[in-house]
Amino acid sequence: MATVILDTCSTEAKKMLEFLKATRYARVIEENIPNNETIMAINEVETDKVKSYGSAKEMMSTLKKKAGV
């Protein structure tokens, strides 16, 4: 068994990935790594820095008040 790590930012790497997916002897396991913005959002949720609402109606009412609508 061998492990191959492809940075799929380039066209060549994307083509290689599609080639490997099409073969019988290779299995591709894709790992989705969150970007910095997503990691920051996850951290905000985990540290209770986000506001939660009891319902969508409550949330929209609050947002409209803040927007002056």
Would you list the domain boundaries of the chain? 1-31, 35-69
Q: How much is the pTM?
A: 0.46
Closest of 22, 38, 36, 29 to residue 1, by C-alpha: 29
For 15-69, how does the pLDDT look when each residue is reduced to its tens digit (9 = 90+)? 999 999 999 999 998 888 899 999 999 999 999 888 889 999 999 999 999 999 8
Structure tokens, 29? 């396991």
DSSP string of 14-34, one letter each residue: HHHHHHHHHSSS---------
As a whole number of angstroms, the distance between CA 12 and CA 26 comes to: 18
